């Protein structure tokens, strides 16, 4: 099986494979499944709910079945698992051939791609708000970490929010140190952004009218 990246912006992936020696082949079944990095397991996880499937059938004029196909309008720099099988006239499928391909490229996130707005003091806590200039299709998740003292390790016990929203509430009643990062679909982290606020009850009362 040979895979090829073509195009810019939204990518195309062209896939080719060796013809089956069977004379009873009816069509080839081709599946494309995105593999998204999971930072908890350190592995690429297939997302079958996003898979695309094509049937490459016999040409009625030539009588031949092509041994290549193209998937269009894919996000760039996404890893995909490609699977190809030959289906005969009796609906039997051959052993599946698999390979992986990366659909183009996009750079890792840099300073300025993610912005953390100043923390907002609220009753019984703090509101964190952020924005990005990166296409959300290239971001896997945002993560907000917080602690009552300054920290550098982004550990699970400090994780306050994980998802695709751009705002979250963090319960707090003392000084709160907050850090934000984004993880792209290749598992790469953005630069970490930080802020700190005094969320003690006295300070919240002093700012209640602001």
The C-alpha atoms of residue 167 and residue 52 are separated, in whole angstroms, by: 32
- Say what the pTM is: 0.56
7 has a pLDDT exceeding 60:
no
Neighbours of 114 (CB within 10 A): 21
1 has a pLDDT exceeding 80:
no
Q: Are residues 64 and 123 in the same domain?
A: no
109 located within any domain:
no
Q: Any idea what the CATH number is for the domain that residue 57 is in?
A: 2.60.40.10
What pLDDT is recorded for position 2?
Answer: 53
Number of domains within the chain: 2
Q: Which residues face 46 on adjacent strands?
A: 35
167 located within any domain:
yes
Q: Give a three-class secondary structure readout of 114-149.
A: EEECCCEEECCEEEEEEEECCCHHHEEEEEEEEECC
pLDDT in tens, 18-44: 999 988 999 999 999 999 888 788 888
98 has a pLDDT exceeding 90:
yes
Q: Are residues 49 and 125 in the same domain?
A: no
Q: Which of 53, 79, 102 is the last residue of a domain?
A: 102
pLDDT in tens, 133-170: 987 767 889 999 999 999 999 999 999 999 999 999 99
């Amino acid at each position: 099986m040979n895979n090829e990246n073509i195009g810019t912006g939204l990518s195309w992936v062209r896939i080719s494979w060796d013809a089956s020696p069977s004379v009873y082949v009816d069509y080839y079944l081709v599946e494309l499944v995105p593999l998204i990095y999971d930072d908890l397991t350190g592995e690429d996880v297939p997302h079958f709910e996003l898979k695309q499937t094509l049937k490459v059938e016999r040409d009625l004029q030539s009588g031949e079945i092509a041994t290549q196909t193209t998937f269009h309008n894919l996000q760039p720099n996404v890893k995909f698992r490609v699977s190809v099988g030959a289906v005969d006239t009796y609906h039997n499928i051959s052993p599946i051939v698999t390979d992986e391909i990366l659909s183009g490229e996009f750079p890792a996130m840099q300073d300025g791609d993610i912005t953390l707005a100043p923390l907002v003091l609220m009753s019984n806590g703090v509101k964190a708000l952020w924005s990005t200039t990166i296409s959300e299709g290239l971001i896997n998740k945002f993560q907000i970490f917080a602690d009552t003292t300054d920290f550098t390790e982004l550990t699970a016990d400090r994780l306050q929010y994980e998802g695709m929203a751009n705002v979250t509430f963090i319960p707090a009643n003392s000084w709160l140190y907050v850090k934000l990062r984004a993880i792209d679909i290749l598992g790469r982290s953005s630069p970490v952004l930080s802020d700190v606020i005094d969320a003690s009850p006295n300070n919240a009362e002093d700012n209640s009218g602001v």
